[in-house]
Amino acid sequence: MCVTRRQLDFDACYLAVSARDSRFDGRFYTAVTTTGIYCRPICPARTPARSNVRFYRHAAAAEAAGFRPCRRCRPELSPGDPGWDVRADLVGRALRLIDDGVADESGVAGLARRLHVTERHLHRLFAAELGTGPLAVARTRRLLLAKQLLTETTLPITDVAFAAGFGSVRQFNAAMKESYGFAPGELRRAGGPVRGAHGPVALTTGLTLRLGHREPYDAQAVLRFLAARAIPSVEAVCRSGPDVTAYTRAVPGGSITLRPAAGHIRLTVRTTETHRLSRLVARCRRLLDLDADPGAVREILGGTSLAPLVAARPGLRVPGAYDGFELAVRAVVGQQISVAGARTLLGRIAARAGLPAVPDGTGAGHAPEADQVPSLFPTADRLAAADLDGLGLTTRRVATIRALAEAVASGAIDLDGAGDPADTIAGLLEIPGIGPWTAGYIALRALRDPDAWPEGDLVLRKTMERLGIAPDETERWRPWRAYAALHLWSHASDTAEGRDKS
């Protein structure tokens, strides 16, 4: 491995670059001192001489050292580093919050508060792990998103600035010139939008971006999983035979649509809240598990009793969650009932306590896909105050949902990445009605814990028994037990002997 906990192995990294090894795409970046450019390990350009190469763990570290992103391999399309989900330490959680736009909205001070540490301590950890601070990481994320928008779309430069998270066009222009050495308009004139990009239209009409991933990627498995659990009025799917061709869900100000494509996922955004684009991209990546490393999963699970299942479906991913609280409510509602029954109840909850995705009079979201998803799933504060009587929920289930909503609304439990996973699980288990299975399922999908295991799951237990897998075998599946669970659930579903989980 060329990537260790805090440093990069030069020889291993150079070998990966020489081989253009896609397994390391997104895990490190190659900077060339003679050109001032940094690239992905898979860049098709000629391999530079060893003496002219520097390796960086994060794109922000390369940019802080004065290097500019390559226009040929486009670092903005790199999948994320899955190692942060495995570690789930403070830096990993901070990176997730930065992707979610916390630093843009609240600054580094607000980011540190969410993580319950001082700014100084956070900066010290970032410098040790990444070679640069959180402010530089947030700035690089904005710049790379802006670069993608300039390259793939003909969105006006003013709209690009705000969509990428900059506070003003002047700030955007200054950042581009300082970091990349040219103004936004120069990049667009030099390369122009890719063929097939939409015309100069507003975001409300639709903006499409590419979301990269590592191969192999079983897009249909993830999309079918989501389709089976789509909440009426909040989510919708389009099909062509057994395949899901599009997944659409409501977001504040409009909707997003995800479509599988060759080598990537196409994200189409229709929203009036342009400043949320970075957050939308990050949450869609988590929802579809686009940053996973199937090679690392295969390396562990492929040497165990799960080897035949892994060989049959090497691109299987763990479906994530667009919103952590929504997923937690799904898990509670879905206890001991069918997937169809849970969908019905969740649709009633959304109808009772949700808000319109597009407020009246804003003029957004008139595409057919948006018309299918008019409602947002209720936030924690709304659900905590909502009257859930008469929806078909038991009294005990209503009490659990309300207690969960109150804990999330008060900040006692954070389901969107700021909290330590172990502490979050402990907090969930203190809520009456949430047991080990529910907490494990929430950790698996909402907290993105790749080693989460839904303890006591009946389908997992029966499937393991049929395959002759002993209970203690699960220890050999660490740190990828969540992927092991998906392989077992998928096998049970494929053989028509299992019941899908909610």
379: alpha, beta or left, given left = phi > 0 and alpha = psi -120 to 50?
beta
482, amino acid identity: A
CB 47 within 8 Å of CB 18:
yes
39 counts as catalytic = yes
Cβ contact 469:308 at 8 Å: no
Does the active-site annotation cover 13? no
Q: State how far Cα 321 lies from the chain centre.
A: 8
How far are the Cα atoms of 250, 275, 367 from residue 364, in angstroms, in the given order?
A: 12, 15, 9
| 497 vs 123: CA distance, rounded Å | 51
The number of helices, as runs of H, and strands, as runs of E, in the chain is 23, 9
Q: Which of 279, 284, 286 is nearest to 246 (CA)?
A: 284
* Per annotation, catalytic residue among 2, 13, 25, 39: 39
How many angstroms separate the CA atoms of 303 and 288, rounded? 25
Residue 138 carries which DSSP code?
Answer: H
- In angstroms, the CA 342 to CA 337 distance is 7
Given the residues 81, 99, 293, 457, select the one marked as catalytic.
457
Residue 236 is classified by DSSP as: E
CA–CA separation, 397 and 388 (whole Å): 10
The catalytic residue positions are 39, 457
